C-alpha cells in the first residue's frame, strides 16, 4: 500500500469496462461528439464576435459560456479517448489533479455564468428603462471576470489541499479523476478537505442557485402582472437559460449523490453515463439550445453562413 502522496505517481481508474472491440465504437462516438462540440461552440463564438448587433451583455455572457464549454470538454474528451483505447486505465498523478482542476472549475464557471445571465435577464425584464445604465460594458466585463476568477481561485486551493494529502491507495472508481474520490483514499485527517469541499460547493453551486431562483421569482412576478408582450419577451429570453440550468443541475445533483453516497445498486453502465452527462452534455447541447431558440443568434448564424457561402463561391469563380 502507498503511504503518502509523494509515492503516488499514478492513479488507476477502475470504472472502465472490458468492452473488447466495442471500444472502437465508443471511441468514434466520443470523437464525433467532441468534434461537434468544438465546431458548434466555435461557430457561435464567431457569430457573436462578427455580428455587431450581438455585442450586448446577454450575448457577451453567452460568449463566455461557449468559451467555458470548450474549456471543460477539452479537459475531459481527449482524456476519455486515450483511456478508451488503452488497456491500462492509469493516469499520472499531476495529470489527474490537472483534470480535477479543469472539471471542477468548469462547473463553477458554468453556474456563475448562468447566475450572471439570470441577473441580466432580471434587469432586462424588471427594469427595462434602466437596463443600459445598469448593464454597462464595464459592469458586464467585471461580471465575466468574476465568473472566471472566483471559481478558479477556489478550485486552486481545493486541488492544493487534495494533492498534499497522505494517501493509502491509488484506485479511483470512476472513468475520470474526481476530487472526492482522491480525498477518500486519504489515510490522514481529511477534515479540512471535507469542510473546504462543502464551502466550495456552497460558494460555486448553492449560493449561485439561490440567486438564480431569487431573480426568476422576481421575473415571474413581473410576467404575471405585466402585459402579453412582456410575458412573451421574458419567455423567449429566459426559456433557453432555464433549460440549460435544469439540465446542468440534474447532472451536478447526480454527480454529488454518487460521490457522497453508495450507488452500487445502480447499474455500472448507467453510473458511468450519468457521471459523464454532467460534464459532457452541456458543451454539446448549449449551442443547440441557444442557437435554435435565441432569434438574434439564429439570424446571426444564417447571416454568417450566407457570408461564408458567398465568399467560397466568389473564390471558386475567380479560380
For every one of its 319 residues, what pLDDT tens digit does the chain have, with 9 covering 90 and above?
344 444 678 898 887 776 667 788 888 988 999 999 999 899 889 888 888 888 889 889 999 999 999 999 999 999 999 988 887 888 999 999 999 999 999 999 998 999 999 999 889 888 888 889 999 999 999 999 999 999 999 999 999 999 888 888 888 888 888 888 888 888 888 889 989 988 998 888 889 889 998 988 888 887 777 677 766 766 766 777 777 888 777 777 777 766 666 666 767 677 777 777 777 777 888 888 877 666 667 666 676 667 666 666 666 555 4
159 domain-assigned = yes
Cα dihedral 233/140/251/249 (nearest 10)? -60
In this prediction, residue 250 carries a pLDDT of: 76
E-strand stretches of 171-210: 171-172
3 domain-assigned = no
133 domain-assigned = yes
The answer to whether 12 and 89 have CB atoms below 8 angstroms apart is: yes
The answer to whether 293 and 239 have CB atoms below 8 angstroms apart is: yes
* Sequence-ordered list of residues with C-beta below 8 angstroms from that of 229, at least 6 positions apart, any chain: none
Cell of 198: 462543502
In 26-43, which positions are buried (b, 16+ CB within 10 angstroms) versus exposed (e)? ebeebeebbeebbebbeb
Distances from the Cα of 243 to the Cα of 182, 236, 239, angstroms: 32, 12, 6
The answer to whether 90 and 12 have CB atoms below 8 angstroms apart is: yes
In this prediction, residue 61 carries a pLDDT of: 93
In this prediction, residue 318 carries a pLDDT of: 55
In this prediction, residue 238 carries a pLDDT of: 75
In this prediction, residue 190 carries a pLDDT of: 85
* Torsion sign, CA atoms 218, 219, 224, 230: positive
Count of CB atoms within 10 A of residue 135's CB?
Answer: 21
Cα–chain center distance at 139: 23
2 domain-assigned = no
92 domain-assigned = yes
Beta bridge partners of residue 172, listed in sequence order: 13
In this prediction, residue 239 carries a pLDDT of: 75
- Residues for the chain: how many in total? 319
5 domain-assigned = no
The total number of structural domains in the chain stands at: 1
CATH code of the domain containing 95: 1.20.1070.10
Compute φ and ψ for 184, nearest 5 degrees: -65, -20
Compute φ and ψ for 13, nearest 5 degrees: -95, 110
The parent domain of residue 162 ranges over 10-318
164 domain-assigned = yes
In this prediction, residue 151 carries a pLDDT of: 93
Can you state the angle between helices 268-293 and 57-74, rounded to 10 degrees?
Answer: 150
In this prediction, residue 219 carries a pLDDT of: 84
The SS3 assignment for 190 reads: coil
In this prediction, residue 141 carries a pLDDT of: 95
Compute φ and ψ for 266, nearest 5 degrees: -75, 130
Beta bridge partners of residue 91, listed in sequence order: 11
124 domain-assigned = yes
In this prediction, residue 300 carries a pLDDT of: 64
| Residue written as grid cell 467560397 | 312
Amino acid at each position: 500500500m502507498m503511504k503518502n502522496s509523494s509515492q503516488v505517481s499514478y492513479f488507476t481508474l477502475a470504472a472502465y469496462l472490458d468492452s473488447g472491440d466495442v471500444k472502437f465504437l465508443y471511441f468514434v462516438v466520443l470523437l464525433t461528439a467532441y468534434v461537434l462540440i468544438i465546431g458548434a461552440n466555435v461557430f457561435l463564438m464567431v457569430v457573436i464576435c462578427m455580428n455587431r448587433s450581438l455585442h450586448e451583455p446577454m450575448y457577451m455572457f453567452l460568449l463566455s459560456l461557449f468559451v467555458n464549454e470548450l474549456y471543460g470538454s477539452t479537459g475531459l474528451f481527449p482524456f476519455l479517448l486515450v483511456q478508451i483505447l488503452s488497456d491500462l486505465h492509469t493516469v499520472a498523478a499531476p495529470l489527474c489533479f490537472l483534470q480535477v482542476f479543469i472539471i471542477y472549475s468548469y462547473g463553477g464557471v458554468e453556474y456563475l455564468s448562468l447566475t450572471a445571465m439570470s441577473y441580466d435577464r432580471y434587469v432586462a425584464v424588471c427594469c427595462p428603462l434602466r437596463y443600459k445604465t445598469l448593464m454597462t460594458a464595464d459592469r458586464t466585463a467585471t461580471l465575466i471576470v468574476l465568473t472566471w476568477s472566483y471559481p478558479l481561485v477556489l478550485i486552486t486551493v481545493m486541488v492544493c489541499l487534495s494533492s498534499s494529502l497522505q494517501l493509502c491507495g491509488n484506485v479511483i472508481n470512476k472513468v475520470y479523476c474526481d476530487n472526492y474520490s482522491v480525498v477518500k483514499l486519504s489515510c490522514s485527517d481529511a477534515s479540512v478537505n471535507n469542510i473546504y469541499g462543502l464551502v466550495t460547493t456552497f460558494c460555486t453551486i448553492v449560493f449561485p442557485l439561490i440567486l438564480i431562483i431569487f431573480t426568476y421569482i422576481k421575473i415571474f412576478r413581473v410576467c404575471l402582472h405585466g402585459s402579453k408582450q412582456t410575458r412573451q419577451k421574458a419567455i423567449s429570453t429566459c426559456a433557453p437559460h432555464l433549460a440549460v440550468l435544469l439540465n446542468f443541475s440534474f447532472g451536478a445533483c447526480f454527480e454529488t449523490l454518487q460521490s457522497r453516497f453508495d450507488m452500487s445498486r445502480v447499474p455500472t453502465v448507467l453510473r458511468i453515463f450519468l457521471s459523464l452527462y454532467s460534464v459532457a452534455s452541456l458543451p454539446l447541447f448549449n449551442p443547440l439550445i441557444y442557437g435554435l431558440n435565441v432569434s438574434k443568434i439564429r439570424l446571426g448564424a444564417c447571416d454568417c453562413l450566407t457570408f461564408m457561402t458567398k465568399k467560397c463561391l466568389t473564390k471558386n469563380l475567380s479560380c
